[in-house]
């Protein structure tokens, strides 16, 4: 039986969540998805730091220090024998009778984590995939990784119904990101991606791509681009935890470039794979 992390303790999985947990009632909480490759989590510190920022943005006090949370997550992955997959981590505002405002007096946040085996989709990385376009109907704090994912869920479902891997969001004419990934275009050997502001989640994989591009001396522009720019781009790719870097070769009915994964995208994927091969338990972006 797999274990889960629940309120600071690693326990055998069982039904632990209360019906009055505010994550059920309001989506009142935050989460992270951390990729694990050959038993090693990628950029765990960066994910935990983003969790801290999300918590602070919704005025939630994390129930334990990030360093303790980190050791618990490593212990959980180890105990569950996780080789390839993800660690899912969630913190809700806690359990209280259903009133919209924060519980008073304060209740303890509910922090849980579990692991899931997931194989890497290297064939999609090699061959590319289709995406669709859809209007970005989300709120104006997409930088917070909250549990409120209904617009993302609806967009992803629409993608699946159109045999696409992702739904790329546009706010008016501007491309923001996708339902569960960030979007890059390549033009004349340079990358363009939406700036990290309130309209997108600042993806950890997105930041990893910045590091790899720097190494490859590929210029990165954090600048908005339009629907037309996307369709006319030399290359398009998306990034997210465990999906990694996926070339987008078709958007709705339009072919991107020559309809094959582009050379710049391929070079970045190659570097990413090299880093995965040499991953250590404490790999960070900025050290
Ligand atoms: N989603 N944008 C959105 C809206 C996302 O939900 C995600 C990730 C990303 C990419 O972020 P990162 O590179 O840190 O994974 C961008 C996760 C994987 C999910 O909800 O399952």
Residues labelled as active-site residues:
145
Beta strands in 172-219 (DSSP E): 174-178, 182-187, 190-193
> Has residue 282 got a pLDDT over 90?
no
- For atom 19 of ligand 1, the residue with the nearest CA is 180
**Span 235-249, pLDDT tens digits:** 999 999 999 999 999
Tokens of 248: 């987008």
- Calculate mean pLDDT across residues 30-40: 97
Rounded Cα distance, 259 and 264, in Å: 14
- For atom 3 of ligand 1, the residue with the nearest CA is 180
Mean pLDDT of the chain: 96
- Sorted by sequence, the CB contacts under 8 Å of residue 98 that are 6+ apart come out as 20, 25
**Span 169-186, pLDDT tens digits:** 999 999 999 999 999 999
pTM over 0.95: yes
**Span 81-96, pLDDT tens digits:** 999 999 999 999 999 9
- For atom 1 of ligand 1, the residue with the nearest CA is 180
- For atom 12 of ligand 1, the residue with the nearest CA is 203
Residue 138 CA to ligand 1 center (angstroms) comes to: 14
Q: Which residues line ligand 1 (CB under 6 A)?
A: 33, 152, 177, 180-182, 201, 203-206, 239-241
Residue 104 CA to ligand 1 center (angstroms) comes to: 32
| Model pLDDT, residue 121 | 87
Q: Which atom of ligand 1 is nearest to the CA of 47?
A: 14
> Has residue 215 got a pLDDT over 70?
yes
Q: Between 263-277 and 204-215, two packed helices, what is the crossing angle to 10 degrees?
A: 100
> Has residue 287 got a pLDDT over 80?
no
- For atom 20 of ligand 1, the residue with the nearest CA is 180
Residue 105 CA to ligand 1 center (angstroms) comes to: 33
Tokens of 78: 């180890």
DSSP per residue, 272-283: HHHHHHT--TT-
Residue 241 CA to ligand 1 center (angstroms) comes to: 6
Give the residue, out of 203, 210, 285, with the most ligand 1 atoms within 8 A of its beta carbon, to mutate for a pocket test.
203
157, HSE (Cβ side, Cα atoms, 13 Å): 6
Helix (H, G, I), strand (E, B) or coil at 213: helix
Tokens of 25: 């009632």
pLDDT confidence tier of residue 17, bands split at 50, 70 and 90: confident
> Has residue 151 got a pLDDT over 60?
yes
Residue 277 CA to ligand 1 center (angstroms) comes to: 22
Helix (H, G, I), strand (E, B) or coil at 6: strand
Residue 97 CA to ligand 1 center (angstroms) comes to: 31
Q: Which atom of ligand 1 is nearest to the CA of 31?
A: 20
- For atom 5 of ligand 1, the residue with the nearest CA is 180
> Has residue 14 got a pLDDT over 90?
no
Rounded Cα distance, 89 and 51, in Å: 9
Tokens of 262: 């582009």
């Amino acid at each position: 039986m797999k274990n889960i992390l629940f309120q600071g303790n690693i326990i055998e999985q069982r039904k632990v969540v209360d019906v009055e947990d505010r994550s059920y009632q309001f989506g009142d909480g935050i989460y992270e998805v951390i990729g694990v490759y050959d038993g090693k989590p990628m950029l765990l510190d960066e994910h935990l730091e983003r969790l801290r920022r999300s918590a602070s943005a919704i005025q939630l006090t994390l129930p334990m220090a990030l360093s303790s949370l980190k050791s618990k997550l490593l212990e959980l992955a180890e105990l569950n024998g996780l080789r390839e997959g993800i660690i899912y981590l969630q913190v809700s505002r806690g359990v209280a009778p259903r009133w919209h405002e924060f519980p008073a007096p304060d209740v303890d946040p509910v922090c849980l984590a579990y692991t899931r085996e997931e194989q890497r989709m290297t064939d999609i990385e090699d061959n590319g995939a289709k995406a669709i376009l859809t209007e970005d109907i989300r709120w104006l704090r997409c930088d917070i990784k909250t549990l409120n994912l209904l617009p993302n869920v609806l967009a992803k479902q629409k993608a699946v119904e159109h045999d696409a891997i992702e739904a790329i969001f546009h706010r008016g004419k501007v491309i923001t990101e996708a339902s569960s990934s960030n979007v890059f275009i390549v033009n004349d050997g340079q990358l363009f991606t939406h700036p990290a502001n309130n309209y997108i989640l600042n993806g950890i994989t997105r930041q990893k791509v910045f590091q790899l591009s720097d190494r490859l001396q590929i210029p990165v522009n954090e600048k908005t681009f339009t629907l037309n720019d996307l369709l006319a781009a030399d290359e398009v790719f998306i990034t997210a935890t465990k999906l990694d870097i996926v070339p987008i070769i078709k958007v709705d009915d339009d072919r991107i470039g020559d309809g094959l994964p582009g050379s710049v995208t391929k070079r970045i994927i190659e570097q990413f794979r090299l880093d995965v091969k040499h991953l250590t338990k404490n790999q960070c972006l900025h050290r």
